[in-house]
Amino acid sequence: MKSKIITGGITAPKGFTANGLYSGIKKSKKKDLALIYSEQACTAAGVFTTNKVQASCVVINKGKMHRGKARAIIANSGNANCMTGKRGFDDSKKIIARVATALKLPESDVLIASTGVIGKPLPIESIADAIPALTQSLSKAGGKNAAQAILTTDHRVKEIAVEISVGGKKVRVGAIAKGAGMIHPQMKSATMLCFVTTDAVIDRGTLQKALNESVDDTFNMITIDGDTSTNDMVLVLANGTAENKKIVAGSKDFRLFRQALQEMFITLAKLMVKDAEGATKFVEVAVDGAKSKEDARTAARSIASSNLLKCAVYGSDPNWGRIAASVGYSGADVNPWKMRIYLGSELVLENGGPVKKDISILNRVFAKKEIKIRVDLGQGKENATAYTCDFSPEYVKINSAYRT
């Protein structure tokens, strides 16, 4: 039994409602405040950025994770509320308090997330004033509003929902995500903004385990610009209303649930890369023949992070020497004489030197909107795949005037 994609996003699982509106943060007056709510108590799990500079929302949520319980996630976009001093923490707590009051929840049940510019205080009164309207109009249909309200430079809403069957009971998992720049999630349980809901019956430890095991080959394998954010997080709420036989670690049901998460995450991760700031092309970098999984990941991420390669992709120039160079400086165990490089299905490097190819064939591969690069390290059996986009003059323009 595999997972099945169903319509909707964060509100597809039973018992979850959501909403999103403009609360006064964004100059564009686009939606900038999102709320996700469960009518029932939830098991909660989360993974967070490994950046040592962390926004107040990251610090606050991490402090709540030991309880493993929550019922609401309040998230704003347009302002990261990071490097905003003690005031930043006070503002986050004020928002949590207002949401808790409006929803009649203890403050400990409310998680918080922020994304946007760093170092600028939030317009706290304006946000606080918007909370009653936000909570009063929570609905199933409001999932779309929430998906819009967490976006920054993203062009497209990123949401997905799947259904799996656990012991004959239908279990739904829904998710929304955002991210188009400052994207280079660091290994070990760190990633971008993504909120997941599920009606599965699952305990906290098992939920956290499934989450941990789902980010390494998905969100942690994408890069847009090599900059790791201060605010990255994935939060999962599971309210148990599907009434399935409890999912326990190591079981077939657990693997099915984890696989559903992985499939959702890889879909959302690819959506992020495709929606990346200024991106005109999507690049899949597959590394195999590595001595270790870590080597495969390191090499794939290094290639995907090469500014020079990303410029060549933008210009449709099949300059594979830059792939070889970025594997060489990755730190992975590399023997240039054993390495093979493929552009699409075309072998271009073997025995330490170029394979004769009509350049027009390679030009055609690099002219595509979706480009596949494969590097066989010839050293072992491990593999990993990274995802990235090209580097365009438009990326520079977007990020040269982000605050204005």
Report strand pairing: 33-48 vs 193-198.
unpaired
Which of 135, 191, 223, 230 is catalytic? The answer is 191
Please provide the DSSP assignment of 157-191 as one string. -EEEEEEEEETTEEEEEEEEEE-SSS--PPTTT--
**Residue from 307, 361, 367, 381 in contact with a second copy (CB under 8 A):** 307
Residues 220, 222, 227, 232, CA torsion sign: negative
Instruction: Please list every residue from 315 through 374 that binds a second copy, using CB under 8 A.
Output: 315-317, 319-322, 324-329, 334-336, 339, 348-349, 351-354
Instruction: Please list every residue from 274 through 293 that binds a second copy, using CB under 8 A.
Output: none
Query: Most distant CA pair in the chain: distance in Å?
Result: 70
Name the nearest CA neighbour of 115 among 226, 253, 246, 230: 230
Nearer to a second copy, 321 or 380 (CB): 321
Q: Is 179 in the site for a second copy (CB under 8 A)?
A: no
What single DSSP character describes residue 37?
E
Q: Is 82 in the site for a second copy (CB under 8 A)?
A: yes
Nearer to a second copy, 105 or 180 (CB): 180
Nearer to a second copy, 156 or 340 (CB): 340
Nearest distance, CB of residue 300 and a second copy, angstroms: 16
**Residue from 65, 73, 182, 365 in contact with a second copy (CB under 8 A):** 182
Count of residues near a second copy by CB under 8 A: 72
User: What's phi and psi for 261, nearest 5 deg?
Assistant: -60, -50
Nearest distance, CB of residue 375 and a second copy, angstroms: 11
**Could you tell me the two tokens for 228?**
């790791």
**Residue from 136, 345, 360, 404 in contact with a second copy (CB under 8 A):** 404
**Could you tell me the two tokens for 151?**
């976006």
Q: Rounded to whole angstroms, how far apart are CA atoms 30 and 34?
A: 12
Nearer to a second copy, 284 or 317 (CB): 317
Q: Which stretch binds a second copy (CB under 8 A): 96-104, 107-115, 135-143, 388-396?
A: 388-396
HSE, side-chain direction, 13 A CA sphere, residue 173 = 28
Residues 6+ apart with CB under 8 A from 22: 29, 30, 31, 32, 33, 130
HSE, side-chain direction, 13 A CA sphere, residue 310 = 26
Nearest distance, CB of residue 165 and a second copy, angstroms: 41
Residues 6+ apart with CB under 8 A from 222: 183, 185, 269, 270, 272, 273, 304, 386, 387, 388
Nearest distance, CB of residue 94 and a second copy, angstroms: 16
What single DSSP character describes residue 94?
H
Name the nearest CA neighbour of 95 among 17, 23, 192: 23
Nearer to a second copy, 82 or 147 (CB): 82
Q: Which stretch binds a second copy (CB under 8 A): 95-103, 105-113, 283-291, 312-320?
A: 312-320
**Residue from 312, 375, 384, 389 in contact with a second copy (CB under 8 A):** 312
Nearer to a second copy, 186 or 212 (CB): 186
Instruction: Please list every residue from 87 through 126 that binds a second copy, using CB under 8 A.
Output: 87-88, 117-121
HSE, side-chain direction, 13 A CA sphere, residue 361 = 11
**Could you tell me the two tokens for 157?**
């809403």
Q: Is 54 in the site for a second copy (CB under 8 A)?
A: yes
Annotated catalytic, 191? Answer: yes
Please provide the DSSP assignment of 253-301 as one string. HHHHHHHHHHHHHHHHHHHHHHT-TT---EEEEEEEEESSHHHHHHHHH
Instruction: Please list every residue from 227 through 256 that binds a second copy, using CB under 8 A.
Output: 227-230
Nearest distance, CB of residue 240 and a second copy, angstroms: 36
**Residue from 19, 84, 148, 218 in contact with a second copy (CB under 8 A):** 84
Q: Which x/- pattern, by CB under 8 A, does the window 185-224 give for a second copy?
A: -x--------------------------------------
**Residue from 92, 305, 379, 383 in contact with a second copy (CB under 8 A):** 305
Name the nearest CA neighbour of 57 among 107, 91, 98: 91
Residues catalogued as catalytic? 191
